[in-house]
Amino acid sequence: MHYVSTRGSAPSLGFEDVTLAGLASDGGLYLPESWPAFSAEDIRALAGLSYVETAVRVMTPFVAGSLTQEELRDLCTAAYARFSHQAVTPLVQLDHQHWMLELFHGPTLAFKDVALQLLGQLFERFLSRRDDHLTIVGATSGDTGSAAIDAVAGREKIDIFMLHPEGRVSDVQRRQMTTVLAPNVHNIAIEGSFDDAQALVKAMFNNADFKSRFNLSAVNSINWARLMAQVVYYFYAAVRLGAPERAIAFSVPTGNFGDVFAGYVAAKMGLPVARLIVATNVNDILHRALADGDYSQGQVVATATPSMDIQVSSNFERLLFDAGGRDGKALAEQMRGFESSRAMRLTNAQRDGAAHLFASARIDSDGMTMAMRWAYDAAGQVIDPHSAIGLAAAREAGVDASTPVVTLATAHAAKFRDAVERATGTRPPLPPRVGDLFAREESYAKLPGTFGAVTAYIAERATPRA
Ligand SMILES: *Cc1c(COP(=O)(O)O)cnc(C)c1O
């Protein structure tokens, strides 16, 4: 499988190179040259398979040329062995139409583990093949950071530098990052918002000298391998609810547009997806873009759903590219316009390409609270605020009653227990797998959110290329 950049001028690469590179050299994001097609027969054949076996079948076409099916199976087996549920991503029924797909049974309690546990395995495999070293630099609104750190802590050929916006992640999120004291793990709290942190990371990747000197790589959802791993659970859930014989709708609490883009990929591969509901909090750039074609950056408002407090959604570029007819040169120009004015209109082709599959909703804190209470009253489920945004959007989307609607439950309620307690009066206990999180020592640096400060810090600690 070959991969092309959304901005049309970076070289096309194989899966191994795309995994290690993250961002393309022209500033774009990698996508498969064409979508692998699964027939109804192929989808029917997934019935009854384990999560790992489903993952192997769904991902095999994407890794072709870089991994054999046996190698892929070994990596998936290792990646999903650390999940606390046999089904890895179990479905829970709420009422006659609504289901939650629980994606939070991994080591750090959010759906990011599903992709990052695999990415950690892929990195190790590819780096040992090449005898190379990698410096991972990432920005996190909370969950990517802990999941990435857990996935690479202690690995010899990797250093990880993780930037988080100071004071804007929950105490559980912060401790899950800062109490990992492995020598290859470096946490940095920066003054500013998540978007500021992400802009710093982007600037480092756009600095060719810095990037090649330290062999930088990305673990945020601009990395294709992450999205690929997330495609699996759309198949896994849909098959259990009747695909390919019936279509399923999904509602996805959305920030960087990675998780919901994986649903789009599943639909492109032939999975019958009735609708993809993009659920945002009051940071609603994606809702405005999908509803009105207006992609303009607002001020970030801090909410009870910090992992969705985002105003620039990196992966949206992938949709604009694919739905808009895959014209990389034109998209590069459109994105340059956005980068200078912080606003753009979607083209008609982009809007039409998205309209047949996507719906969207903006959910405020009342809507979120009501969804948390409803889940508890209807089915005794204590859900996290992010999942509640998804559920609220699912319930107001007006999906035909004969179509099951699956809301992606992106975090364990205990990860955001203060917000859950405020909304429901119930304080969910931390599950045993996180251990003595609040007794452990923390270690992290505090830096101003400037390019100079952050790169100097990294340059002092990272391993330069030989
Ligand atoms: C990352 C995250 C999201 C947003 O996912 P994207 O792929 O960025 O759209 C939603 N909820 C939780 C709990 C998350 O950690």
Could you please report the per-residue DSSP string of 145-159? Answer: HHHHHHHHTT-TTEE
Q: Whose CA is nearest to atom 15 of ligand 1?
A: 143
Nearest ligand 1 atom, CA 253:
10
Place of tokens 């190379």: 132
Residue 181: which H helix or E strand, with range?
Answer: none
Please list the active-site residues. 112
Residue-level pLDDT at 329: 97
Is the shortest distance between the CB of 261 and ligand 1 below 6 Å? Answer: no
Which 3 state secondary structure label does DSSP give 369?
Answer: helix
Task: Classify burial at 329, counting beta carbons within 10 Å of its beta carbon; exposed 0-12, middle 13-18, buried 19 or more.
Answer: exposed
Cα–Cα distances in angstroms (integers) from residue 12 to residues 37, 64, 248, 314, 438, in the given order = 21, 15, 34, 20, 46
In contact, 302 and 169? CB cutoff 8 Å: no
Considering the segment(s) 91-108+224-424 as one domain, its CATH architecture is 3-Layer(aba) Sandwich (3.40)
Q: How far apart are CA 133 and CA 283, in angstroms?
A: 37
CB atoms under 10 Å from CB of 136, counted, come to 30
Domain range summary for the chain, segments of one domain joined by +: 91-108+224-424
| Centroid of ligand 1 to alpha carbon of 410 (angstroms) | 7
Place of tokens 């204590």: 382
| Centroid of ligand 1 to alpha carbon of 20 (angstroms) | 22
Amino acid present at 252: V
Is the shortest distance between the CB of 221 and ligand 1 below 6 Å? Answer: yes
Task: Classify burial at 201, counting beta carbons within 10 Å of its beta carbon; exposed 0-12, middle 13-18, buried 19 or more.
Answer: buried
Task: Classify burial at 440, counting beta carbons within 10 Å of its beta carbon; exposed 0-12, middle 13-18, buried 19 or more.
Answer: middle
The Cβ-side half-sphere exposure at 288, using a 13 Å CA radius, reads 16
Is the shortest distance between the CB of 358 and ligand 1 below 6 Å? Answer: no
Taking only the tens of pLDDT, the chain with its 466 residues reads 999 999 999 999 999 999 998 888 898 999 999 999 999 999 999 999 999 999 999 999 999 999 999 999 999 999 999 999 999 999 999 999 999 999 999 999 999 999 999 999 999 999 999 999 999 999 997 788 999 999 999 999 999 999 999 998 888 899 999 999 999 999 999 999 888 998 999 899 889 899 999 999 888 778 999 999 999 999 999 999 999 999 999 999 999 999 999 999 999 999 999 999 999 999 999 999 999 999 999 888 989 998 898 888 989 999 999 999 999 999 999 999 999 999 999 999 999 999 999 999 999 999 999 999 999 999 999 999 999 999 999 999 999 999 999 999 999 999 999 889 988 888 999 999 888 899 999 999 999 999 999 999 999 999 988 7
Is the shortest distance between the CB of 307 and ligand 1 below 6 Å? Answer: yes
Is the shortest distance between the CB of 143 and ligand 1 below 6 Å? Answer: yes
Q: How far apart are CA 452 and CA 429, in angstroms?
A: 41
Nearest ligand 1 atom, CA 260:
9
Residue-level pLDDT at 174: 94
240-267: burial string, b at 16+ Cβ within 10 Å, e else: bbebbeebbbbbbbbbbbbbbbbbbbbb
Task: Give the β-pairing of 158-165 and 185-190.
Answer: parallel
Q: How far apart are CA 128 and CA 124, in angstroms?
A: 6
Is the shortest distance between the CB of 256 and ligand 1 below 6 Å? Answer: yes
Nearest of 49, 295, 16 to residue 128 by alpha carbon = 16
Amino acid present at 270: G
How large is the C-alpha radius of gyration of the chain?
20
Cα–Cα distances in angstroms (integers) from residue 204 to residues 212, 214, 270, in the given order = 10, 11, 37
Q: Among 103, 111, 228, 313, which residue has the most ligand 1 atoms within 8 Å of its CB, making it the best to mutate?
A: 111
Nearest ligand 1 atom, CA 387:
11
Question: Cα-flanking dihedrals φ and ψ of residue 293, to 5°?
Answer: 80, 10
Cα–Cα distances in angstroms (integers) from residue 17 to residues 3, 206, 458, in the given order = 9, 17, 23
Residue-level pLDDT at 193: 86
Nearest ligand 1 atom, CA 143:
15
Place of tokens 């620039």: 312
Q: How far apart are CA 377 and CA 362, in angstroms?
A: 23
Task: Give the β-pairing of 158-165 and 134-139.
Answer: parallel
Backbone dihedral region for residue 399 (phi beyond 0: left; psi -120 to 50: alpha; all else: beta): beta
Q: For the whole model, what pTM was predicted?
A: 0.95
Q: Among 259, 264, 317, 412, which residue has the most ligand 1 atoms within 8 Å of its CB, making it the best to mutate?
A: 259
In contact, 313 and 285? CB cutoff 8 Å: yes
| Centroid of ligand 1 to alpha carbon of 98 (angstroms) | 20
Residue-level pLDDT at 218: 81
Strand partners, 64: none
Write out the DSSP string of 336-362. Answer: HHHHHHSEEEPPHHHHHHHHTTEEEEE
